[in-house]
Copies of this chain bind each other. A is one copy, B any other.
Amino acid sequence: MQVWKEYQAQHKERFLEELLELLRIPSISADSRYNNDTKRCAEAVKEQLIKAGADNVEVCPTAGHPIVYGEKMIDPALPTVLVYGHYDVQPPDPLELWHSGPFEPVIKDGKIFARGSADDKGQFYMHVKAFETMSATNTLPCNVKFMIEGEEEVGSNNLGKFLEENKERLEADVVLISDTSMISLENPSIDTGLRGLSYMEVEVTGPNRDLHSGVYGGAVANPATILAKMIASLHDENNHITIPGFYDDVIDLSAAEREALNKAPFDEEAYKKDLGVKELWGEKGYTTIERTGIRPTCEVNGIWGGYTGEGAKTVLPSKAHAKISMRLVPNQDWVKISDLFKTHFEKIAPASVQVKVTAHHGGSPYVTPTDHIAYKAASQAIVSTFGKDPIPVRGGGSIPIVALFEKILGLKTVLLGFGLDSDNLHSPNEKFDLANYYKGIETIPYFHQHFAALSK
Contact = CB atoms under 8 A, between A and B. Distances in A.
B321 A214 contact: no
Given A30-B311, A219-B288, A312-B360, A303 B275 contact: no
Contact of A218 (B277, B283, B309): B283
A231 B221 contact: no
A235 B224 contact: no
A281 B91 contact: no
Interface string A260-293: 0000000000000001111111110000100110
A426 B314 contact: yes
Given A207-B275, A277-B221, A302-B307, A90 B313 contact: yes
A353 B206 CA distance: 29
Interface range, A side: 35 or more
Nearest to A223: B300
A91 B313 contact: yes
A445 interface: no
Contacts of A43: none
A368 interface: no
A225 B322 CA distance: 11
A396 B29 CA distance: 47
A421 interface: yes
Contact of A295 (B218, B288, B300, B360): B218
Q: How many copies altogether?
A: 2
A206 B311 CA distance: 24
Interface in A369-403: 395-398
Contact of A426 (B305, B309, B315): B315
Contacts of A413: none
Q: Which of A218, A279, A352 has the most CB of B within 10 A?
A: A218
Interface string A222-237: 1011011101111100
Given A195-B214, A299-B316, A91 B428 contact: no
Given A209-B427, A216-B396, A311 B31 contact: yes
A154 interface: yes
Contact of A303 (B308, B427, B429): B308
17 contacts: A31-B309, A91-B309, A94-B210, A154-B312, A208-B277, A209-B424, A209-B428, A213-B426, A218-B296, A219-B281, A220-B282, A228-B229, A232-B232, A300-B317, A301-B313, A303-B308, A304-B308
Interface of A: 29-32, 90-91, 93-94, 97, 153-155, 181, 195, 197, 199, 201, 206-222, 224-225, 227-229, 231-235, 275-283, 288, 291-292, 295-297, 299-317, 320-323, 325, 327, 350-353, 360-361, 395-398, 421, 424-429
